Each structure stands twice: as C-alpha cells, then as structure tokens.
Structure 1
Amino acid sequence: MTGGTRKRGATWSYYFDLGKIDGKRQKKEKGGFKTKKEAETALAKAINEYNNAGAVFTPSEITVSDYLDQWYDLYCKPNLKYSTQVAYLQIIEGHLKPKYGKYRLKALTSAILQEYANDLKMHGLAKSSVVGILSVLGASLDYAVEPMHYLSVNPMRYVKFPKIERKPRERIVLAMEDWNRIIERFPVGSRFHIPLMIGFYTGLRISEAFGLTWDDIDLEKRELTVNKQIVKRNFGADVRKVVEKKGKKELRSSWYFTTPKTPSSSRTIKFGETLYQALKQERTEQMKNELKYGEYYTIHVIKKELDEKGNEMQRIVPVQKCLQSTLPRVKLVCIAEDGEYTSTDTFKYCARIIHKELLLAFDYHSLRHTHATILIESGADVKDVQTRLGHANIQTTLQTYVHDTEAMANRSVDIFEQAIEQKKLS
C-alpha cells in the first residue's frame, strides 16, 4: 500500500491509496498536522487501521448524551427486561450523563475513564454500585465499536476496576422468640399473616410469595409451585419518564406476572403441617369473605399485553365483582378481607410495624435467610436447600445464605466426639 506525506501551506498532510472502489481508484488524505513527523505517525496508524479493519476509521462527532440515548433505544429497550431497563436508565441519567454528557464520544479515553472509576471509589460508593456504573458504561461503549462503528476501540477495555472491600450485607436470622413475636402481632385474620407464614416456612423470594395464586398450591400433596413472580411497572409511559418522575403520582402503575428470576427459580416446594393448616384456613376464610362482601368484593382479572420486545405479559387488574369482567379471573393468595391485593408495597407497612413497634431488624428477605439457616443448622442436605431456594449454583446457597453459627460449631464438635468414641469401641 502506497502513501506519503506532504506540506500544504503551513501544515502537513498524509495520504495513501485505498485501491479501486466501484472501479475507481480512491485515496485517503488528512491534513492539519503541525509537523512532518506528526503526519507520518498518523499515516502509519491510519494504514494499520485500514489493514486490520478494511476501512479507514473516522470518529463520530456525536455527544455522549446523544449516544447513550441512541444505545438505550436501539439495544436496551429491545433486549432487556423492564426492571433492567429502569436500572440502566437510572445509571445513565444519574451518573453517566451528568459526568460526560457534553463530551464528544470520541473524547473519552482510557485515562479519563480510569480517573472516573477511581473517583467513584473515593466518593464512597459500594462495590456493587461502582461495578454497576462501570459495567453499563463499558457495555454502551462496546456497542459504539460494534455494530455502530463510532469508535475503533472501547476505552473501557483498559480501565481497571478499583479494588473495593465488599461490605458484608446484613443478613438477618430471626430467633424463634422474635419470629413468635412477629406472628403474634400479625395473627390469623391479618392480611400480613399468610405472606409472613409463606416466607418463613418456604423461603420464597418476596416477588415469588406475592405472586402465588391458589392454582399454584396443592393442599392435598402439601406442595406449592413457583412458576412466576410479580413485578411493578408503569404503563402508558416511557421508562425515561418513569425514572424522571420516580416517586410522583402522575404515572399510573400496575402489577404484572412475569417469568421467574432464573430457570432454576421454577420449582415445586413441599411444606409441612403448620403451613398446610394456615393455608387451608385462609382459603376457607377467603371464600366466606367473598360471600360476605358480595358485589363489592374485589376480584382480579388478567389482561394480556405486549412489552417493548413483543413478549406477552399478564397485567393483574383489580375490579369489583359486580362489574362482571369477561377477562379470565385469577385468585391471588395474598389478599385482604375485601379481596384487595396485598402487594410488596402494602407489605412495607408490616415491616415498619416490626421495626418501630417490635424493635426488630427485619425485611422480607430475612424470612428466606432464616429458613435456609434453620435447615442447614438442623443437618438438611445443602443440595435440597439449594433447590428449595431456587439457586442455579450451590455456591450461592453456601456463600449467601449459609454462614457459621454457634449451633453449627457445636454440632461439628459433637460429630467429631461421637466419631472418636466409635473408633475407640472398634
């Protein structure tokens, strides 16, 4: 490939032959270099890029802000779940645009982004937040390289994530006396009794527990099936507006059934006598209450909709029984006396009472953690615990939900002592 440099006025230019394109010989020329050496260096780089990519790369003039909007529309909306879209957009609007929105995309360098990564650490952000921000930025710049061809290389490729000590998440294991206080405060008849019982006796995630319908529960076999979860999403509005107006009431929202968190989250779980009696009594009470409230009882129907990717979604629509909707009815397990849905938002009131009145550290996930810990302490097979919790990897069960306790330590000592005694006898 032929090429060279030449002086044009006060500056230097480089040029080289691109060969024939559509039967005509083409060449690439670029000027504005102060010295011949600068032009020669740029020439060598341009020829190298041409040889590696088959074309000479011309950086885009698009701003980071405009590019991130484009990436979100072209990639995120068609490919990501709604909740992930919201999370990405919060990072884009809350971190990336304020920092680099006015920059030209081509101005981002590894040095600039490394300094940004280090600053995130210095400002005290948690490791998960830093990784989340940098990962979204890296993914967006990957797309700028391919397929958009705005950049020849992703500058995040050479950025080292700062080392941040992960603060151990507070994982609450309820003592039995604390659990008894909670369930006594929300006894049979409370709209929070059944959600609490399900969490404690099965270890379900909050989105799984509040997504249960009576079709999912087989009282005869004493087992329940997790085949969906609930999510809250705003409808009739772009996700951008959701992020901008978060916390305001201008946007209507609704609850939807969606697929479980992971394929391994779809599972069937056995339960015992205590939960069996509670569910059996709850089902009877719900049938009585429907007769009691009559036409003013709230029922729930399913309206099928399509998400941004064209996938079918199921919106849970509350209606009074007197309206006689033609849509298929769904019978939710977690409801109030009048049939109103008890959602994860509603459950926040229960958590506040436990915090302020009972003075206990608590969130719904602590029921799941307590369930797993009691099983492991009592000698349950870890593989079975993994299945009950719906983990794809057994390491998640061991590292996240199972931790050393005094009961485990004492049991290990007892096992060792018993083993020694047996060896002495033999």
Structure 2
Amino acid sequence: MSKENLAGVYQLENGCWGFRYAISVNGKRREGKKTKDENGNPFKTEKQAFRARERAIIKAKTEKKPTKKIVRKTFKEVFEEYCEYGRNGKAYTTIKKQDSLWNNHLKDRFGSKYIDNITVAEIQDYLAELYYTEGKAYSYAESFLKMFYLIFGQAYSRNYLDIDTYNKLCINKDTKIHMPKQKIDEETDIVYFNKIEMQQLDNYFQGTNAETAYMLGKYCGVRINECYGLKWDKIDLENGIITIDRQMQYQEGLIKLVSLKTRNAKRKIYMCSKLKKYFENLVQQQKKYKKELKAQRQQNQTFIQDIKGNMISSLGLVNSLPNGKIQTVNSMKYHSRTLQGEYNINFKYHYLRHTYGTTLATLNTPEHLLCNQMGHSSSAVTHKYYIAISEQGIEELLKNLEMV
C-alpha cells in the first residue's frame, strides 16, 4: 500500500495506530480523529487504522445529520422580514431603491410564490425578459440579480431554504443564477467628454453660479451629492486636500447632509494647482460677500440637518450662492437643459466624474491610487476606466505605434 493511500494514518508513541480525516459534505466541513475502534480496542497495525479510516469517511459522507424542519415562507414574507430585521444601517438610497424594485416589479411577479419553489430557470427567464425584451439597461437588470441573492440569503439564514437548494441558486458556479449574456452593442458605462466638449463646458460654466460645482466635478471627480454636501471646513488649502465625508440628500422631502453610501467613499482628494488657485480666489470673494451682503446672507440662509442631527447653516456649504441661498443637487438640471439645447452636449454631472477617471487612467495613474481618489468600494469598478477607449487614450496609442 503506497504512502499516498495511507495519508491520514499515523503511529502513536505506544506503537499503536490512529487516523484523522477532513472532508466536505454539501459544502460543510466534517472532521474525524480516532485511535480506537468501535469496541474501544486500539489499532494494532497501520492497515487496521487505514481500513477504519475508510469506513469512517464513507459513514460521514452518507450519514444524514438531523436537520431542522424547513419552514415554508413566501417571497413576500421573506422580503418583509428582511425589511424589518436586515436593513439596519443600510443607506437611505439603498432602501429606497430596494423598495422601488420590490413595489414596481418583484412583488407582483414573485411575491405570492413560496421561496423554496422558485427555480433557477424561472429567475434566468425573468432577467432575460428584463434585459432583452423590455430593454432595461444591463446595470439596472443587474440590480434585480443582487436583490434575488439578498432574499435567498435571508431565506437560507432563517431556515426557509435547505442547503442544497441554496447552493444551487447562489453558490454552485455551474447552476447559480447569473446575468444574461451582455449585448454586443451595449453602451459602455463610462461616458466621458472629449477635449472640444470640455472646452465648451469650461466656457459655459465660467462665471455662473454652478462654476464651483463644475470645478469640483472636473478636477476631483466627486459625485453630485458629495459636491453639494461639501462644507468649507473640509477644504484644506494649506495642504491642498479636500475631505469628502458626507453628502447632500433629499429625505422625506427635506434637504439633509448624511453619511456616504460606503466606507471607501470617505476619502481625501488632492487638489491640482488650478483648483487650489481657484479656491484661494473664492475664499477672498467669500470674505467680500460676508461684508457687502451680510444682511441678505443672514436672511436667505437655510438651516439643514447635518450627519449627527444638529442643524447647520447653508452658509457653511461651499456651493451656496453669494447671497446665502442654498444650492442643491437639483441645481444642475437647468444647466443640463441649456447645454443640450444650445451646445448639443448631453450633460450629466456624473460624466465629469467619468472624464476625470478616464483621463487619470490614460495618464497611467496607479490603479490603487485612482480607486482611492474616486472612493470606489471595489478596484473592479476603477478598472473600467483603464479599459475604456477614450479619445485621449487613442492619441497615446498612436504615439506609441509611431515608436514601434
């Protein structure tokens, strides 16, 4: 008998033998260790221990452990339990999005079905219907996939799904639910502005009430909620650093400053010399406004709730108007319409973020640094900027080709 076959068998100090094993059964680890047989007698020979080990492994693989009785619940009941017990600490926008997917789509289609009766094929057909038939965006259809994983995970943790069903739905790579194959003509998620468009945008925003927000989008790649939630005390001109630690949101019809969606979104962004110079000038203008428009600013200021629940003045926000009136995440809508009508530019503030990321990726910024600057929770998201085909990237490619 070869040494390979005798793996797991070992000799004791007294000359007798023992065995150990560790196997996986239905995704669960089972271990065993013995130095005596069923009658309490020691294994006198290596062969005895080996045979006993073989029998123990067969028994472990075939023996059915007593399991709790599976409780049957509908998809609706599981979702409601998740809402009551599993959403503590979730971001406000995440909760709103989940509620929207449920109320507008999933409730009617799956709500009354028992969770243990829903099949992989049924979900795959539904995702394909959303993406191919209804023409939903790939990323939007993907949000449904995440919801299914979430609800099935909730059901399994509460013993509404047995392990085999859960493995088939969510774990086994050969059977688990997944997104349909992406269309060949699917547009990239990375939409950016080219050089001509950026020049037009520079000219358009200069001197407008949205210039500061534009500069933050162009040179920092911040999200629009982060931009309008930025406070003056988070700008460190001496060290050239902007701290992003909160965002502006409408919640129940009220403007609030709330926590960022993910931990990685809290970050320090390094300013380029142009942006630093811009803010140095803006600080001087603010001093002027405080003197010349003091009465207006006091009258027009708005008090909003900050992260910890205390009320703060809109005068502490970077993007408030000179006369003290607050600007919100909706302030860009007018400019988007104007740019579309007068310049034929499909302007979304988030595209400034894409342009920032694509430009830095083309300039070979280390991926981990760009991931940090943009506040991505996953480097896989950042990687999209490195594989996006941009105008600037093509220019660099052509330069490199001339050197071949």
Normalising to structure 2: TM-score of the pair? 0.70
- Residue aligning to 1:151: 161
Amino acid at match of 1:369: H
Q: Distance in 2 between matches of 1:267 and 1:145?
A: 39
1:175 to 194, 200, 216: 194
Post-superposition shift, 1:118? 4.0
User: Deviation at 1:271?
Assistant: 1.7
Question: Which position in structure 2 is the counterpart of 1:200?
Answer: 218
What is the aligned-residue RMSD (CA, Å)?
Answer: 3.4
C-alpha distance in structure 2 between counterparts of 1:67 and 1:395, whole Å: 31
Partner of 2:338: 353
Residues 199 and 364 of structure 1 are in contact (CA less than 8 Å); yes or no, is this contact kept in structure 2? Answer: yes
Counterpart code for 2:247:
I
1:84-106 deviation digits (Å, cap 9, x = unpaired): 11111111112211112233445
- Pair 100,410 (structure 1): closer, same or farther in 2 beyond 3 Å: closer
Aligned partner of 1:95 among 98, 101, 105: 105
Are the equivalent residues in 2 in contact too, given 1:216–1:225 (CA < 8 A)? Answer: yes
Residues 351, 363 of structure 1: 8 Å contact kept = yes
In structure 1, how many angstroms separate the alpha carbons of the residues matched to 2:363 and 2:116? 59
AA aligned to 2:104 is G
Q: List runs of 5+ in structure 2 lacking aligned partners.
A: 1-60
Which residue, out of 321, 333, 353, partners 1:368? 353
What code does the residue aligned with 2:293 have? Y
Q: Deviations over 1:309-357 (max 9, x none)?
A: xxx64566557xxxxxxxxxx7111111222222221122222211122
SS at 2:329's partner residue? coil
Structure 1 residue 67 corresponds to structure 2 residue 52: no
Of residues 45, 52, 75, the one that matches 2:65 is 52
Counterpart of 2:293 in 1: which secondary structure? helix
Q: Does 1:227 align with 2:244?
A: yes
Name the structure 2 match of 1:327. none
Give the superposition deviation at 1:183: 2.9
Q: Which residue of 1 aligns with 2:206?
A: 187
CA deviations 1:1-24 (Å, max 9, x no partner) are xxxxxxxxxxxxxxxxxxxxxxxx
Name the one with the larger strand percent. Answer: 1
Q: Deviations over 1:52-104 (max 9, x none)?
A: 3434x2543x443333222211112x142222111111111122111122334
- CA drift at 1:195: 0.8
Q: Against the structure 1 CA distance between its residues 335 and 108, is the aligned structure 2 distance closer, same or farther, given a 3 Å change threshold?
A: same
8 A Cα contact 1:172 1:361, kept in partner: no
1:286 alignment counterpart: 286
C-alpha distance in 1 between matches for 2:370 and 2:244: 18
Q: Is the 8 A contact 2:256 2:304 kept in 1?
A: no
Q: Which residue of 1 aligns with 2:177?
A: 160
The one-letter amino acid paired with 1:214 is: W
| Number of residue equivalences | 332
Q: Could you tell me which amino acid in structure 2 is paired with residue 135 of structure 1?
A: K
The answer to whether the 8 Å contact 2:74/2:111 transfers is yes
Instruction: Output one character per residue of 1:188-217: Cα deviation in whole Å (capped at 9) or x when no partner.
Output: 2x2101111121122223233222222122
Paired residue for 1:332, among 309, 314, 317? 317
3-state SS of paired residue (2:340)? helix
The residue number in structure 1 matching 2:233 is 215
User: Any unmatched runs of 5+ in structure 1?
Assistant: 1-47, 236-251, 305-311, 320-329, 421-426
- Structure 1 CA distance for aligned equivalents of residues 161 and 326 of structure 2: 50
Report the alpha carbon displacement of residue 378 of structure 1 after superposing the two structures with TM.
Answer: 5.0
Give the secondary structure class of the aligned counterpart of 2:65. Answer: helix
Say whether the 8 Å CA contact 1:95–1:133 is kept in structure 2: no
TM-score normalized with structure 1 length: 0.66
CA pair 112-269 structure 1, distance change in 2 beyond 3 A: same
Whichever residue aligns with residue 230 of structure 1, its letter is Q
